[in-house]
Chains A and B, each alone.
Chain A
Amino acid sequence: MKKILAAGILAASSTMAFAEAPGGPNCGWGNMVFNGQSGMVAHFGASTTNGTSGNATFGMTSGTNGCSTNGTITYGGKQMVSSLMGELTEDVARGEGDALSAVAAVLGVAPEDRSVFASAAHQNFARIFPSAEVTADEVIAALYAVMAEDARLAHYVG
């Protein structure tokens, strides 16, 4: 009996841990707030976050991205993308890498479409990152445009 109860309690407390995959067409980067940081700026310096609140030190930067509560972007939106800009630029230039995979996951791109996504981004490097001053907003807008033009990727941004 105790075992069943225990299982019940556990089940109840763990169901919400298996929410939707991060990202998805109904939320996505467009909903996030960016601080307008230049992509290349993120290359340099330890991005120290001074004066973080307790919530921030516990991974909770959400609540500002407007997505976390419905479970679509479960991943500290703003901080993550701004933070990843540097690595993302590198990976798009090379056409592969962990940052590119992470961004694909956040956009909800299925594993089987990841290589299509990577090469589409790679071929359009100059469009996505036209200058060193490009902002995260512009990068996202350009990425969406590139995806919309690709037959395999269009439905992710549709």
Chain B
Amino acid sequence: MSDPRASLLVALADDELILGHRLSEWTGWVPYIEEDLALSSIAQDEIAHARMLLDILSVIDGRDTDQLALGRAPGEFRNAVLCELPNTDFAFTLARHWLYDHADDVRLRALQKSSFKELREAVAIFLLEERYHLEHADAWFHRLAGGPVDARHRFADALSATIGEAVALFESIDDEPALVSDGVMPRSSEDLLGEWLGRIGEQLDEEGFDQVLSARGEPSTGEMVPTSTGEMEAQVLGSVLQPPDVKRIDGRWVHTDSFRGSGGRRGNHSEYFEPLWSEMTALYRAHPGAKW
């Protein structure tokens, strides 16, 4: 009944909308004015890209663009959890920026060959604008990697803390088999994950940041929590998404198994999503159908 193309549009749009909203929280707080403008401009671009995707979706779905962006329940959002995580500090913001924008570039390049005309046209525009996001993220990556020891360590720690959720950007999309067989997605999410890992792995190795991905090679035991006797034991993860492990094989970073459980792409969000959603949609919920 439902159109598989809607599943892809909503995942792409929600990544851009939620990350754009998070980045907009930096406006007025960035350490200096040029960077404040940069993160605010990137937020503006991402939210605009979400709007273009939701414009396309509204033709399939029937709800208008504002209803789709602001009138959906939290469980209907399909963004990856990475996008909703709080900004925390500048190191985390830039680590996420770098990991996300390389992932976005990999998937947009693949979608240039999509059989879905309206999406292909939008992607052509996105790539012309995302180029500047990627250059910005790369410039910070090299600047912090080569920077003073404190900056380098904090950035490496932020990358290590973020890499798992960044891998989860490539959790499969609802209806993905149909999307791939119809050519709407010319390549599967898992195929794109391989390309992204190779690309970021090479850059991390060059900067001597290989510990970022090595940590992902350890067996996933889940979070350690104290028991009633005070001993630590692994938490039962249940349906929580566990991204695949990654290893360096023949000098190249690859993933060695598959996703288990389900995450943002199935509507399972972190504790941080609801407060973000509540703030983002407050005006719309108070005045349904409001125009501005």
Whether chains A and B associate is: no
Please report A residues at the B interface, Cβ cutoff 8 Å: none
